[in-house]
Amino acid sequence: MAVSVEHLRQRKGAFRIALIPPEVLEALNEGLLETVNLNEFMALELPRLARSVAGHLGLDPYSERLIDTLAMLSAFKPMQRHGHISRALYDLTAAHPQRDALAHRLATHPSDVARCWATQWITLSGLGLPRQLESVRRFAADPHFGVREMAWMAVRDASIRSLDEALELLQHWVTDDDPNIRRFASELTRPRGVWCAQIERLKAEPWLGLPLLEPLKADPSRYVQNSVANWLNDASRTQATWVRDTCAGWLAQSNQPQTGYIVRRALRTLTKQ
């Protein structure tokens, strides 16, 4: 009999792992519910969740490939564990006669963590950058913040390898109606970023990113504004004069409060100096 979790969806996350209700933790580990904060994410029993998700996909949750992976998880750092699970599920799916159907199930899974694993399949796919960006778009627009973060990280390395192509392909993303899509283009190309490879070329030549940043200089979404400001703040560590000049130019062109907010945050490191 199916278990209903509708009454749990609007909950506020517990302030400590120990305070997570058992009913919530059970639903999270069964892959029936999304996490709502970091405490819930850290409280997950990954082996149990991985087996649950495998079963939901139609894979053998006790296959040798998956069990071997789960047995060695403790040897890796927390975030690395997710990569290994994703790879095991990818390998199990590779030879499946309904591979595309299984991939769709993972990409639309009720668990945000499972959808995060799906983003990493894009990295494993070996597709060229245009196809990777097409594939990642659904995750860039995902309603869950964690999936959106994993989305840009999934195509970061490919974008660095083909930076000119990435900057061109992303130009129509920054004019999209969805602020999550606009923010993705900015966050993906941040010169420094967080927990990811740095883009040395944009650290040295941040002006290459202007075609993406200019359309966002007065964006109505605070989510987008913060990303653009962080992009420029990254660049200010290596090209301070250019960032100051760019911000001054934006203020001269736009008297919108959104632009003022972006500029203040963009200059925060330089202001402290």
* Per-residue pLDDT reduced to its tens digit, 244-267: 999 999 999 999 999 999 999 999
How much is the pLDDT for 273? 84
Sequence-separated (6 or more) residues with CB below 8 Å from residue 181: 137, 140, 141, 173
User: How many angstroms separate the Cα of 175 from the Cα of each of 36, 75, 143, 156, 218?
Assistant: 29, 43, 19, 20, 12
- Give the per-residue pLDDT at 95: 84
Which domains are present in the chain? 17-161 (no CATH), 176-188+201-273 (1.25.40.290)
Predicted pLDDT of residue 61: 97
pLDDT for 196 equals 87
Residuewise pLDDT in 10s, the chain (273 residues):
467 899 999 999 999 999 999 999 999 999 999 999 999 999 999 999 999 999 999 999 999 999 999 999 999 998 899 999 999 999 999 989 999 999 999 999 999 999 999 999 999 999 999 999 999 999 999 999 999 999 999 999 999 999 999 999 999 999 999 999 999 999 999 999 777 899 999 999 999 999 999 999 999 999 999 999 999 999 999 999 999 999 999 999 999 999 999 999 999 999 998
CB atoms within 10 A of CB 39: 16
| Residue 193 structure tokens | 């970023």
Look-up of token digits 């029936």: 32
Verdict on whether the full-model pTM lies above 0.95: no
Supply the pLDDT for residue 246: 98
Give the pLDDT of residue 1: 43
What is residue 2's predicted lDDT score, i.e. its pLDDT? Answer: 60
Nearest to 263 by CA among 170, 245, 221, 206: 245
